[in-house]
């Protein structure tokens, strides 16, 4: 089993959103004994913080205001002067629909969380993002972690796409004409 990273000394940035959602995140971070949590309500100030400090992770509320006509996750990945655009970025939704999750993935978000968020979920997501980071892609239309999830090469299961012919038993009535009456 892999060694769990100590989350207590990580520097985390929480961006924007509704006060209730931010309070839930702060409570979860408190339960994890995380000491360095910076809460910034405005996206512009958050980008300024990313230009001057490095953070282990960023948690952004989905309701955070845009930064210069682009969503905060896009700005965190592409804004000029950001010290580490490869920082794991989590977006927090009140309710996440499949379309929203796909859009978040397509703008470079590392993972999606939904309220109510528990400390155990945050710890698991942070551990996964920090201990096994996905490769980072920088392209003209996309900046973020690789959207494809890797499958282990030593898969031990059977190939579900391959079908083997097999005999099927059909229930045939004793009087074939009676079935069409």
Per-domain residue ranges of the chain = 11-145
pLDDT of residue 125: 92
Q: Please, what is the Cα angle at 63 between 59 and 65, to 5 degrees? A: 95
Residues of the chain with pLDDT under 70: 1-4, 148-181
Q: How far apart are CA 113 and CA 104, in angstroms?
A: 11
C-alpha 99: how far from chain center: 14
pLDDT of residue 20: 83
Domain 11-145 homologous superfamily, CATH: Response regulator (3.40.50.2300)
pLDDT of residue 1: 42
- What's the token pair of residue 59? 């948690």
Helix, strand, coil shares of the chain, percent, nearest 5, are 30, 20, 50
């Amino acid at each position: 089993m892999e060694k769990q990273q100590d989350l207590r000394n990580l520097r985390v940035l929480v961006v924007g959103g509704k006060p209730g959602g931010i309070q839930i995140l702060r409570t979860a971070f408190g339960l994890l004994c995380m000491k360095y949590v910076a809460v910034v309500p405005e996206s512009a100030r958050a980008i300024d913080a990313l230009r001057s400090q490095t953070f282990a992770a960023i948690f952004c509320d989905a309701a955070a205001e845009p930064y210069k006509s682009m969503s905060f996750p896009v700005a965190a990945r592409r804004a000029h002067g950001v010290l580490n655009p490869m920082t794991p970025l989590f977006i927090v939704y009140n309710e996440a629909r499949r379309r929203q999750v796909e859009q978040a993935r397509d703008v470079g978000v590392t993972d999606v969380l939904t309220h109510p968020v528990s400390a155990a979920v945050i710890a698991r997501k942070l551990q996964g993002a920090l201990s096994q980071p996905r490769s980072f892609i920088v392209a003209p239309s996309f900046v973020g972690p690789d959207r494809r999830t890797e499958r282990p090469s030593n898969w031990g299961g059977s190939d579900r796409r391959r079908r083997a012919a097999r005999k099927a038993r059909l229930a045939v009535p004793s009087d074939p004409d009676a079935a069409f009456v």
